[in-house]
Structure 1
Amino acid sequence: MVSIDTYNACVDFPIFDAKSRSLKKAMLSTAGGAIGKNASNTVVVEALKDINLHLREGDRVGLVGHNGAGKSTLLRLLSGIYEPTRGTADVRGRIAPVFDLGVGMDPEVSGYDNIIIRGLFLGQTIKQMKSKMDEIAEFSELGDYLAMPLRTYSNGMRVRLALGVVTSIEPEILLLDEGIGAVDAAFMAKARVKLQEMVKKSGILVFASHSNDFLAQLCNTALWVDHGEIKEVGEVADVVEAYEGPGAGDYVRDLLKRFNEEEDEEKDKD
């Protein structure tokens, strides 16, 4: 059964040289959260604190909050990249993390080889990835570059390759961060269509985004993360309103009304 359960899950980053202001500043800008001390009296950044989530198949959760609030750290916790420092995180199901797209790729081998490597990282078999090779090549639009070492790729080309791989699989749990990299607008538009198709097929979606349009389109629940803690959970429009104000909440309600009307029209045509 596909599920996500976290119980008072915390993620702390220790700062062993607490006198280093530059280190503390760097950690805070990356992780957000508050500065505290652990049982060993080591200074730590509390990136996530007492996270309780209980998600089941069909849940589509949007994460809102300012940069550094802890959204990306939460995605990394759910993907298994970070283990909880305290508390527990139990995630059951095949996960596709659409962030940290360079993880599981080797700069010294070809794009074709990296399709296999990235697929294995995402829980696929070599046979499965070989069967998807043409589909991924067509989607990425990298042509002859797929035979070249990954180190010859630009950042945008690497994102294309990684997105091609991740959008070719059918995950049970999709962990999506909208700010996934620098590619041209036309390609990202195409990628978003594929990602939306993935959302429909996935059992659980957790989506970090600053776009209220995408939150309204893809999510049925929202969660406001602030300084590493869950500040509010509820309907998308209500949480967006609490985070951004009444105008943003009304905008999301209008979007949801329009989406529902369009969906009803499609059903009538059928």
Structure 2
Amino acid sequence: MQDTVVRVNDVSIQFRLYKENVDSLKEYLIKKFKQKLTYDEFWALRNINFEIKRGESVALIGKNGSGKSTLLKIIAGVLKPTKGVVQTYGTIAPMIELGAGFDMDLTARENVYLNGSILGYSKSELRKQEENILEFSELYDFFDVPIKNFSSGMIARLGFAIATIYTPDILIVDEILSVGDYNFQQKCHKRIQEMLSKGTTLLFVSHSIEQVKEICDRAILLSHGEMLADGKTEEVSEIYSSM
């Protein structure tokens, strides 16, 4: 069995920040063809290196703009790095952006099948788990309501319930647990602990150091796209708090 489930090797990513206001795709293409588009180069991440073992719970911490969410998206395969390589082993359940993979005009029940298929679950698997998803999300009176009418907390409940109906090899959570009421957050924490006990690897982003300390044994500190520290959560959190 592969012991290392995430390997990040010298990863950097650059974005182009265009200076002109372009109101349409046609205008963009014309300016690009005439080479009239000017931009600044912005390195969101530079030379990031680390490995994560099976069953580890690792937090990415840092101030806004440090590159945490960008790094999660690269690991999840949503973004491709400009330089470097990311290798992952096993199934990934990403919870990166609230509402990602949902159609706001569809009901919660319909989105179970849409979002579940994106995560790689078959229709028959989702049909078997539909009642469990309903029970965990506690959306009893709203399961056949279009989710455009949902609060952010209700969407988070649905997304977490779908992503965790089976135990993935790697669970990626970005700020989702900061949405919703305290009781549901504790319910999510309990399910995460259950998955960790079964060998799931957790990559977790939160601005709540208390949540990080409660859930994660290890933390990686990012600042302005660079990795400043990697170690035990308590020690790295102290460095972050002193910044």
TM-score scaled by length of structure 2:
0.83
Q: What is the CA distance between 1:238 and its match in structure 2?
A: 1.9
1:136 to 124, 133, 142: 133
Aligned identity (percent) is 33
Structure 2 distance, partners of 1:215, 1:180, is: 11
Structure 1 distance, partners of 2:211, 2:151, is: 27
Question: Does residue 100 of the first structure (1) align with residue 102 of the second (2)?
Answer: no
In structure 2, the partner of 1:90 is: 87
Residues 189-268 of structure 1 aligned to structure 2 (within 5 Å): 189-245=186-242
Q: What is the CA distance between 1:194 and its match in structure 2?
A: 2.0
Q: What is the CA distance between 1:179 and its match in structure 2?
A: 4.6
- Tell which has more relative contact order, 1 or 2 (C-alpha 8 A, sep 6+): 2
Write the deviation string for residues 209-248 of structure 1: whole angstroms up to 9, x where unpaired.
Answer: 3333333333232211111111111222221222224xxx
Distance change (3 Å), C-alpha of 1:110 and 1:230: same
Contact 1:105-1:118 at 8 Å conserved across structures: yes
Partner amino acid for 1:13? F
Matched residues, number: 226
In structure 2, the partner of 1:23 is: none
The RMSD of aligned alpha carbons is 2.4
1:118 to 93, 97, 115: 115
Distance change (3 Å), C-alpha of 1:155 and 1:244: closer
Query: Larger % of helix: which?
Result: 1
| Unaligned stretches of 5+ residues in structure 1 | 21-40, 246-270
Contact 1:99-1:177 at 8 Å conserved across structures: yes
Q: What is the CA distance between 1:43 and its match in structure 2?
A: 1.7
Q: Which runs of 4+ in 1 moved over 6 A?
A: none
Contact 2:67-2:223 at 8 Å conserved across structures: yes
Contact 1:65-1:71 at 8 Å conserved across structures: yes
Instruction: Provide the secondary structure at the position in 2 that maps to 1:143.
Output: coil
Q: What is the CA distance between 1:50 and its match in structure 2?
A: 0.9
Question: Does residue 147 of the first structure (1) align with residue 147 of the second (2)?
Answer: no
Question: Does residue 11 of the first structure (1) align with residue 8 of the second (2)?
Answer: no
Q: What is the CA distance between 1:168 and its match in structure 2?
A: 1.6
Contact 2:98-2:176 at 8 Å conserved across structures: no
